[in-house]
């Protein structure tokens, strides 16, 4: 593996890097590795490096290192993100030592969440060696690991949400660079001229390190709006005006996002102020592939990028090939649940003509099974299994929209809208202002009801950082009653049932125009333990086999009335010239993955308050004792069915 700065210095033409985050599911990991292979394979140019994100406080440490190791085995250079606040030095050392053992040379040193004071720490006797800022981490790595690591830091062309001004942010960037940083990757932005002016200002301030702009293609209107709200990134008025009429057509928004990013990249590279581009993929493929193709960056036209790391797509379906004698696996191959991914030879050249005409027995068997099992979608995996949807000319576009918590568990993007993982999506100061200091269950019921009523005092909750959607407003009376003192069902997810609404509909529509969308009603909420058994009994007695129930707690207890392999498509669309698209799927694996995140959010919320305070004690108790419940009603033609079932009095 090489340092990023050495790779950059050996180039005379622009490069690109990709950013991915650790998928939440095993199937998502396998499919992500397939995507990385395709995005690094001819005719597309190979990325100079691939970065892997790291959850604040080390929350994704194991998964981040696992993904990094797989990418190294694919023959690609890795940039591992590493946050340092609220993490003991021992955990930082473990990550850095693991990187050394894998040959990873590049670290992106980040602060992460704002450091907690001793009063707010989760540890009874908090360690005094917590890092406070990213420059602390840079100095620590330099002091203890000398020049082994090539260290990157974050740059903010627009002020960080916690920063006072752009001038202040430049001061902190200079501190990080003076501490020993080697390169800079920027936060997302959409004002190119403003970015270029910022680069010029950096140079005037004596910042000489390579600056790599972070480009995040707009994937959907909802995720774009959420990202802007989270990062406080200013958006040119022209972009907002362009997006507004497209907001209900996810396909058009995605095309616009790719076209906009293409224009931005061209303008940035034409300036000659930066050496390359960093693409924030959100673990999705279609947009970045489109951008690279729009730029005409193909293997025949783009400058070669780290050719020793070229990898071949696997499995590639080629017909009429001879089955050759069994041979040992090629160097650089890895096997994940029986799925083999084979690298090219060491000099980066494609396999010779003989290998193009032959296939090993194991590969032949694998491709035959793959061809029988895979069509437009990979199969839903059984528990503990994983799938692959790889193939020549094939893209995993089946999970491209809508994206977020309820997408297919096979998707590398499952459970994510922005790639920042679980946790609170607003600053601590803003959270305390908007969420107050609840100390009783009654106050929490009022809090959730206040949000549903669009109260100015409660514009967000820990589970939603945007106002209630227009679609949720259509079932608002039911949601308010569920959250009332009578029921205390604190809802965090819901949708009404709809039957063949045009895809252009301003409230319910999504996907390409000219189609029709359908939904089953469902609702998710937190309840006391004693209510779970009552709900399950009610579903069994009065559900008429039309209601699926999932329930779980933080301890790992789980209840459902569905079979092990049951899959519930609760949102689907029928569009001209396309197969039916199932954009929202709920089943055991997806519920359990979300359950883990949901209770982490309660814990993060509790950390806003001092140890032993009534507010922290209340929220910690809910996190450890209450249950998350999801109910799905399968009669999508009866708009009242789920709500009548839930709200009717017990006999």
- Helix 286-294 and helix 250-270, axial crossing angle in degrees, nearest 10: 40
Q: Alpha helix (H) ranges present in 325-464?
A: 353-356, 361-373, 428-435, 441-452
Both structure tokens of 638: 């009866």
- Helix 89-102 and helix 134-145, axial crossing angle in degrees, nearest 10: 60
Active-site residue flag, 587 = no
Q: How far apart are CA 110 and CA 18, in angstroms?
A: 17
Give CA angle at 566 (565, 572), nearest 5°: 130
* Cβ-contact 484, 445 below 8 angstroms: yes
- With a CB cutoff of 8 Å and minimum separation 6, the contacts of 13 are 302, 303
Both structure tokens of 232: 């406080």
* Active-site residue identified among 19, 285, 312, 363: 19
Q: How far apart are CA 199 and CA 194, in angstroms?
A: 9
Q: Is 504 helix (H, G, I), strand (E, B) or coil?
A: coil
Q: How far apart are CA 174 and CA 172, in angstroms?
A: 5
For residue 480, give the nearest of 532, 434, 445, 439 by alpha carbon. Answer: 445
For residue 564, give the nearest of 346, 405, 351, 384 by alpha carbon. Answer: 384
For residue 599, give the nearest of 533, 534, 555 by alpha carbon. Answer: 555
* Cβ-contact 85, 54 below 8 angstroms: no
For residue 188, give the nearest of 151, 230, 220, 152 by alpha carbon. Answer: 230
Q: How far apart are the first and last CA of the chain?
A: 68
Q: How far apart are CA 134 and CA 437, in angstroms?
A: 30
Q: Sign of torsion, CA 271 274 276 277? A: negative
For residue 580, give the nearest of 508, 500, 497 by alpha carbon. Answer: 500
| Residue 568: CA count within 13 A, CB half-sphere | 29
What is the four-CA torsion angle of 589, 592, 597, 602, rounded to 10 degrees?
A: 170
Q: How far apart are CA 414 and CA 192, in angstroms?
A: 30
Q: Sign of torsion, CA 230 465 87 64? A: negative
Q: 553: which strand partners?
A: 627
- Helix 61-73 and helix 26-39, axial crossing angle in degrees, nearest 10: 40
Written as one string, the DSSP assignment of 133-150 is SHHHHHHHHHHHHTTSSE
- Residue 371 neighbours by CB distance under 10 Å: 13
Q: Which residues are tagged catalytic? A: 19
């Amino acid at each position: 593996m090489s340092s990023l700065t050495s790779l950059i210095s050996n180039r005379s033409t622009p490069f690109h890097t990709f950013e991915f985050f650790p998928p939440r599911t095993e199937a998502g990991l396998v499919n992500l590795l397939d995507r990385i292979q395709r995005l690094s394979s001819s005719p597309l140019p190979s990325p100079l490096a691939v970065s892997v994100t790291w959850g604040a406080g080390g929350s994704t440490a194991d998964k981040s290192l696992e993904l990094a190791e797989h990418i190294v085995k694919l023959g690609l250079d890795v940039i591992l993100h590493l946050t340092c606040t609220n993490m003991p030095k021992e955990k930082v050392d473990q990550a850095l030592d693991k990187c050394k053992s894998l040959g990873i040379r590049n670290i992106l040193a980040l602060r992460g969440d704002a450091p907690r004071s001793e009063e707010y720490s989760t540890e009874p006797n908090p360690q005094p060696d917590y890092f406070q800022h990213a420059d602390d981490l840079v100095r620590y790595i330099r002091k203890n690991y000398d020049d082994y690591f090539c260290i990157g830091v974050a740059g903010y062309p627009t002020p960080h949400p916690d920063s006072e001004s752009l001038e202040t942010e430049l001061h902190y960037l200079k501190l990080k660079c003076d501490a020993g940083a080697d390169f800079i990757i920027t936060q997302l932005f959409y004002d190119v001229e403003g970015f270029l002016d910022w680069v010029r200002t950096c140079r005037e301030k004596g910042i000489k390190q390579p600056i790599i702009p972070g480009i995040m293609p707009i994937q959907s209107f909802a995720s774009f709006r959420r990202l802007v709200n989270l990062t406080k990134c200013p958006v040119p008025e022209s972009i907002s005006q362009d997006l507004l009429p497209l907001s209900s057509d996810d396909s058009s928004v995605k095309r616009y996002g790719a076209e906009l990013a293409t224009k931005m990249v061209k303008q940035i590279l034409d300036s000659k102020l930066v050496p390359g581009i960093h693409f924030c993929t959100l673990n999705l493929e279609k947009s970045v592939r489109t951008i690279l193709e729009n730029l005409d960056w193909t293997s025949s036209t783009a400058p070669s990028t780290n050719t020793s790391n070229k990898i071949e797509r696997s499995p590639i379906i080629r017909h009429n090939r001879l089955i050759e004698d069994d041979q040992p696996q090629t160097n650089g191959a890895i096997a994940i649940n029986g799925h083999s991914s084979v690298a090219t030879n060491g000099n980066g050249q494609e396999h010779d003509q003989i290998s193009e005409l032959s296939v090993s027995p194991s590969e032949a068997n694998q491709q035959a099974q793959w061809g029988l099992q895979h069509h437009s979608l990979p199969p839903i995996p059984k528990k503990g299994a994983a799938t692959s949807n790889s193939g020549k000319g094939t893209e995993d576009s089946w999970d491209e929209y809508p994206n977020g918590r309820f997408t297919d568990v096979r998707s590398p993007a499952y459970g994510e809208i922005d790639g920042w993982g679980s946790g609170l999506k607003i600053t601590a100061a803003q959270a305390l202002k908007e969420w107050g200091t609840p100390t009783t269950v009654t106050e929490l019921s009022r809090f959730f009801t206040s949000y549903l009523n669009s109260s100015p005092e409660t514009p967000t909750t820990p589970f939603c950082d945007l106002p209630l959607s227009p679609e949720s407003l259509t079932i608002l009376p039911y949601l308010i009653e569920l959250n009332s003192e009578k029921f205390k069902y604190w809802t965090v997810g819901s949708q009404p049932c709809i039957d063949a609404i045009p895809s252009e509909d301003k409230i319910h529509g999504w996907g390409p125009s000219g189609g029709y969308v359908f939904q089953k009603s469902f609702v998710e909420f937190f309840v006391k333990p004693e209510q779970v058994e009552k709900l399950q009994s009610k579903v069994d007695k009065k559900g008429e086999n039309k209601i699926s129930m999932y329930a779980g707690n933080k301890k790992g207890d789980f209840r459902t009335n569905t079979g092990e392999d049951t899959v519930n498509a609760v949102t689907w669309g029928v569009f001209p010239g396309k197969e039916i698209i199932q954009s929202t799927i709920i089943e055991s694996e997806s519920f359990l993955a979300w359950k883990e995140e949901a209770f982490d959010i309660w814990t993060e919320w509790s950390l806003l308050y001092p140890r032993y305070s009534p507010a922290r004690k209340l929220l910690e108790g809910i996190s450890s004792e209450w249950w998350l419940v999801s109910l799905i009603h399968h009669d999508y033609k009866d708009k009242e069915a789920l709500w009548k079932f839930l709200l009717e009095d017990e006999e």
